[in-house]
Amino acid sequence: MTRLLVADDSETVLLMLERRLEMAGYEVITAVDGQEVIDKIAAATGRNAPDMILLDAMMPRKSGVEALQELREGGNEIPILIISAHLDVEEPDRMAELGANGCVPKPFEWDELIGRIEELAP
């Protein structure tokens, strides 16, 4: 079963993603900000490690963009999909330069999100 680490500072969005992704057959770990993502990745070993990260770009304490940069600078190659309500035309290119494997705008189409997960998850 594919294990996803999903990070969003909105409790409503996080709960909705967790439930829908679990119904779609994914195992889901959640985080409320970029620092919690970093901490969970650092603590994960073997089977506990996520196969992919869905990362909201704008979060408190440490943003998704900062977490993306830190993970990539540390050599982490887990596929990362950025989800954001603030994507402009140039943002996907900027996220790709930082090491993201893709971007999905919020509000997202469920089929598009699942399609992107399926193409990126190992």
Q: What is the pLDDT of residues 2-61, one digit of tens each?
A: 999 999 999 999 999 999 999 999 999 999 999 999 999 999 877 789 999 999 998 988
Q: Which fold would CATH assign to domain 3-120?
A: Rossmann fold (3.40.50)
Helix, coil or strand: residue 8: coil
Q: Is the pLDDT of residue 120 over 60?
A: yes
Kindly state the percentage of the chain with pLDDT values over 70: 96
Q: Note the helical H segments in the chain.
A: 11-23, 34-43, 64-73, 91-98, 110-120
CA distance 3 to 89: 30
Domain borders along the chain are 3-120
Token look-up 């770990």 returns 29
